Amino acid sequence: MGKKTKIGLAAAAVGAAAWAGSKAFTEPQTRPQKAVLDYKHPIVLAHRGGSSLAPEHTMAAFDRAAELGVHGFEIDIRMTNDEEILVFHDEFVDRTSGSAGRVAEMTLEELRELDLGYHFVDGKGENSYRGKGEKVVLLRELLEKFPQMYINIDIKDAPDTYEGSLVPSKLWRLIESLGAEDRVVVTSFYDEQIDRFNLYAQNRVALGAGENEVRKAFTSFNSQFGHLYAPRADVVQIPVKHSVFRLDSARFIAFLDRLNVPVHYWVIDNKEAMEKLINAGAQGIITDRPDIAIELISALEEKRQ
């Protein structure tokens, strides 16, 4: 046996010993149960209210999704110039008159002038919402109108902006003032924003996973040291694929489930794709077509009974 071979075998033995040792003495660090995530069946979250059925982030969309029987909404928030927390996705807004502006540069009064139904076109190529008075919605208004709903709140303002620096604290104060701690999840693509928010919330609100946390979870799952992964999120919201990596395997879902971290997939509008994910163990479907998702979930529940 050559010297290099001996060294290679020794290194492999050390690695195996390290793995075995860590496996033997490490207990999985599961997340404590959060009330908003304590459900016994897959749930449906209407993406921006269900933006294929009505203009996104409008009361028309939220009302329709609620009538369909969704379990909650997946929404985005941004801060206005007068420091109101708005339910809105895009950084820039179309004033429907050819000019545009940033949400952060506009007051709530200015934003209320927008016709959010102006550009909406349904599946039949028709627009039945233009000029019908669909206006921007404040997060406070949404939380107050739908006290029974699970609301997934995605912070869109970047942490290195003025508005982004204010959102975490203002969001926490709003949630606390409404007693909504047990019915919301706060998340962001920016892990820093989630961490900032939790400095105020102190784990009293369920947290989603930012991009870095998802990457960490997936890397741990694919390594020999997945048992060392300690999740910092209570729920993971992901697409089925990122770059060349598939994120929808039953094994990955089960890996997170063992840590008490449910997995929700976005944005899923196809019935067959929804059913495949649910059969793989997904516990939430985020969709622009809540009508399709609710029908499917109801059918699957009937089969199980």
pLDDT tens string for the chain (305 positions)?
A: 555 454 444 444 434 444 344 444 456 679 999 999 999 899 999 999 999 999 999 999 999 999 999 999 999 999 999 999 999 999 998 876 566 789 999 999 999 999 999 989 887 777 889 999 999 999 999 999 999 999 999 999 999 999 999 999 999 999 999 999 999 999 999 999 999 999 999 999 999 999 999 999 999 999 977 788 999 999 999 999 988 889 999 999 999 999 999 999 999 999 999 999 999 999 999 999 999 999 999 998 888 76
41, 57, 71, 89: the catalytic one is 89
State both tokens at 240. Answer: 């089925």
Q: Which amino acid is at 231?
A: P
d(CA 260, CA 266): 20
Is 71 an active-site residue?
A: no
Q: Which helix (H) or strand (E) holds 167?
A: helix 162-177
The 3-state DSSP class for residue 296 equals helix
Choose the catalytic residue: 41, 47, 227, 264: 47
Distance set, CA 10 to CA 13, 19, 196, 263 (Å): 5, 14, 45, 40
Tell me, rounded to whole angstroms, the distance of Cα 148 from its chain centroid.
18
Beta carbons of 197 and 210 less than 8 angstroms apart? no
Angle between helices 191-201 and 162-177 (to 10 degrees): 40
Who contacts 98 (Cβ-Cβ below 8 Å, separation ≥6)? none
- Contact, 143 vs 178, CB < 8 A? yes
CATH class, 31-89+137-304 region? alpha beta
Exposed e or buried b per residue across 33-52, where buried means at least 16 C-beta atoms within 10 angstroms of its C-beta: ebebbeeeebbbbbbbbbbb
- Cβ proximity of 187 and 210 under 8 Å: yes
Sign of CA dihedral 201, 182, 178, 155: positive
Query: Is 227 among the catalytic positions?
Result: no
pTM summary value: 0.89
Q: Are 258 and 251 in contact (CB under 8 A)?
A: no
